[in-house]
Structure 1
Amino acid sequence: MILHGDADASAPIDLCGRRLAELVPGNRYREYAGAGHGIFITHADQIDQDLFDFIEA
């Protein structure tokens, strides 16, 4: 599972999240609109739900 915010200035989404998703076969990729580098704090509820869904799958 690859999680990435589209507003991350420290790790730009095109260079990091989207590129990693292209390189890792069979991954589950999720982008979070407006999320920066502190995604696990600012989008905790969404991430928790996505992780639970991933684990159940």
Structure 2
Amino acid sequence: MNKHIEKALEAIAREHLLLDNLKPQNSSEDFQEQSVWGIKKALEAAYQQGFKDGKQQ
């Protein structure tokens, strides 16, 4: 995965899932409860980002 994608996913995770980062902590902090609507919003944002990036190529 390239840096652009990693940055985009981290931004989506912060905004929609309220996660600080997507790096494994190898502890119970790796497991978070998330609302279905929050996950849906994050997936929609990732899809839109992919669509936008695809149009730029």
Greater gyration radius: 2
Higher relative contact order (CA 8 A, sep 6+): 1
Query: Which has more helix, going by share of residues?
Result: 2
Question: Does the TM-score normalized on the shorter chain lie above 0.5?
Answer: no
Query: Which has more strand, going by share of residues?
Result: 1
> Under a length normalisation based on structure 1, what TM-score does the superposition of the two structures give?
0.38
